[in-house]
Amino acid sequence: MALISRILFPVDFSDNCLGAARYVEAMAGRFQAGVLLLHVVGMGEHNLAEELLPQRQEQLNAFLADELKYFSVERLCLTGNDVAPLIAETARSWNADLVMMPTHGTGTFERLLLGSVTAEVLGSLVCPLWTSVHSDVIVPLEAIHCRRVLCALDLSDRSQSVLAWAASLAAEYQALLGIVHATAHMPAAVTSVSLEKELSRSVAEQSHLEIHNLQKAAGTQARVFIGSGDPAAVITDATKQFESDILVVGRGHSDDSYAIIRDSPCPVISI
């Protein structure tokens, strides 16, 4: 069974959406996946959502018509003001394998934020979510590739499934696979430099051992990056070192997921 056979792509017709569309086209082409374009029509300044629906449906029907003409594509317009729950519900009812959407973060200030809809969807989806890098540049389709996949592991109970998903993605693209893990800072009570170094070394060795066992179970031999400190900073640094094209992360319940997506120099798939 293909890793990805159904891709849900929420569309708001923004420039960021156009940029993400190129990646949707590339992913759908690679996996021969069906695509559902979803647009949520909210109430206008002077019009009810129902009044705007026919015009928006026509706009959605024309969106990427040429680019996706060789794919299996559905187009759905829904009305409602709460966009994120409608995206999550559509993903569940349509059995999406992947939701792809931009972060809507461009410019100096917006780069520090996730779009409110993306952030809410991140916390409510049960399937993987692809988010684009913060950029207002539309990358040509021929420039999109996947030669290196980096998998961030927090060594929780879900790490094995996250690694298995990343390994399957890398195998599909015949890409190199890397693994990154961020260890915690040493406690403030540790005042001895030598003791701090010894504790850091011990934690790193234990992390290497756990990752070795995870790789043995997954049948992978990925290059491993381990760093101490803020997870987003450690993962971003490894992403640059490894020259990653896609970062795969486990979706946790802390702010780390938001910071990792916000800071990543490449697209992120959160599991």
- pLDDT recorded at residue 195: 67
Return the ∠ at Cα 95 (arms to 129 and 8), rounded to 5°: 45
- pLDDT recorded at residue 124: 84
State the Cα–Cα distance between residues 33 and 128, nearest whole angstrom: 15
- pLDDT recorded at residue 69: 92
**Chain centroid to CA 215:** 22
- pLDDT recorded at residue 221: 97
- pLDDT recorded at residue 262: 83
3-state SS class at 76: strand
DSSP β-bridge partners for residue 270: 129, 249
- pLDDT recorded at residue 189: 55
- pLDDT recorded at residue 160: 97
Domains and CATH numbers, the chain: 6-142 (3.40.50.620), 145-270 (3.40.50.620)
Return the ∠ at Cα 184 (arms to 216 and 127), rounded to 5°: 55
Query: Each residue's pLDDT tens digit in the chain (271 positions)?
Result: 579 999 999 998 888 888 899 999 999 999 999 999 999 998 776 678 888 899 999 999 999 999 999 999 999 999 988 889 999 999 999 999 999 998 764 333 333 334 577 778 888 888 999 998 766 678 888 999 999 999 999 999 999 999 999 999 999 999 999 999 999 865 555 556 676 678 888 899 999 999 999 999 999 999 999 999 999 999 999 999 999 999 999 986 455 778 888 889 999 999 9
Chain length of the chain: 271
DSSP β-bridge partners for residue 73: 35
State the Cα–Cα distance between residues 215 and 23, nearest whole angstrom: 29
State the Cα–Cα distance between residues 167 and 154, nearest whole angstrom: 16
List all residues 6 or more positions away from 181 whose beta carbon is below 8 Å from its beta carbon.
152, 153, 154, 155, 207, 211, 224, 225, 226, 227, 234
- pLDDT recorded at residue 110: 38
Contact present, 224 and 205 (Cβ < 8 Å): no
List all residues 6 or more positions away from 244 whose beta carbon is below 8 Å from its beta carbon.
148, 149, 150, 178, 238, 265, 266
User: HSE-up of 105 (CA within 13 Å, CB side)?
Assistant: 25
